[in-house]
Amino acid sequence: MADKGLYPGTDDELGNVLEEKDRIEMDLKRRVKIIVEDATPQAAQVALADNDERILSASIEGRVPIRALFHDKGDNVYLKGWSGDRSDVDRISRESVTLRAPRVTILWCPQHDLFHEMFAKRVLTENGFLPRVLPWLVEYIPTESKARVRGVRSKTQQRWNTLVRGLFETYHANVGEPLELKCAPDVLELITSYHNEQLRRIGRGELSVLKVREYVLRWAEQAWRLCLILHCMEHGREAHTKTVQEYTADNAVQLMKVFSRQQLELLDRARAHERTEMEAVILNTVLAKGEATARDLLRGPLRYLSVSDVGPALEKLVAAGKLECRDKPTDGGGYTARRQAQVRPVGG
C-alpha cells in the first residue's frame, strides 16, 4: 500500500502537491528577514531569534519602537544588540527568547517633535540607549522647487549596490568566526588620545554634568565603530585583508566630533525645556499650597528629581523675584526649615 503521508485518503499526486505546499509555507516562515520596521523591543527579540540574531531596524518614522522605549521595562534588546550581550527573556504572555550574541543596527528617522522628546526623556539616557546612538537633526528650510529634478547617476547606483552586496555576502551571510581587522600603530594612539582628551575635559569641569558624562564616555568607542564603517566603505568585501590606516581613524574622530556637538546641543535644549517645565510645576504647586519646601516638592510633583535639580531652580525663582524665601520653625520647634512662598501680586 502506498504511503499517503500527512494526507491519507488522497491520491499520490495530490498528496505530494499538498506536502510540497506545506514545506514551502514552512520555508517562508523560516526565511531570513534582514530588515524589520517599527518593531517594539519585544518584537525585535523574536525577529533576532528567527534570523541568526542579526537584524536592521529601519523606519522612516520610528514612532512605534521609540514610544515603546519611553516605557522601559528592563528587556531592551536594543541595548543588548549594541554590544552583543546575551539576553534571556521569560514572559508569561509569550514563549521564552534566548539570544546568545544579538547584533542590531538602527536607522530611525523620527520627526523633530519626537526627536526632541527622546532627549527630554531621562529614561533614555539613564538606561544607556541614547548614549549608544548617533543623532543627526536636519534643520530643513523650505525652498522653491525647480522643474528639473536631479537624479542619481546609474554608475553611482551600481557602485553602491556592488559595495553593499559585497559587504553583505562577505560579512553578514557567511557563518563562522568573525573576521578581524589589523590597524596601523598610529590608529590606536590617535583614538586613545581622543579618549584621554575627553577625560581631561571632564576633569576640568567642561563636561562634568552627569547626564553629559554618560555620552562623553562612549565617544571614543563610537569613533572606533565609525572607523570600521569608513574602512569597510573604502575597501568593500576586501576590508578584512587591508590594514586600517591613520587617516581613516582621523576621519572617524572628526566625524564623531560632529555627532558629539549635536548630542550636546540636543541635551542643552532638553535641559532648558526641562527647567522651564520644572519652574512651572514649582510655581503652580506653591500657588496651590501657599508655601512649600524643597522636600515637599520632591515628595510630590517632582518626585522623579533630586535636591540637586530642584534646589537651583528654587534659587533662580527667588532671584528672579517670582518667589520669596523665608525661614519658618518646624512644628517640633528648635529647627528652621527653608520654605518657598508665593510672591504676592502687585497691589495684592
C-alpha cell at 302: 517632582
- What's phi and psi for 103, nearest 5 deg? -135, 125
Which is more confidently placed, 148 or 186?
186
Contacts of 51 (CB under 8 A, 6+ apart): 32, 33, 34
What is the per-residue DSSP string for 124-140? HHHTTSGGGS-------
pLDDT at residue number 1: 40
CA 48 to centroid of chain Cα atoms: 18
pLDDT at residue number 340: 47
Q: What is the pLDDT of residues 187-237, one digit of tens each?
A: 999 999 999 999 998 888 877 665 788 899 999 999 999 999 999 999 999
In the chain, what percentage of residues exceed pLDDT 90?
32
Mean pLDDT score across all residues of the chain: 81
Domain residue limits, the chain: 22-110, 290-342
Confidence of residue 5 (pLDDT cuts 50, 70, 90): low
Confidence of residue 330 (pLDDT cuts 50, 70, 90): low
| Dihedral over Cα of 312, 315, 317, 319: its sign | negative
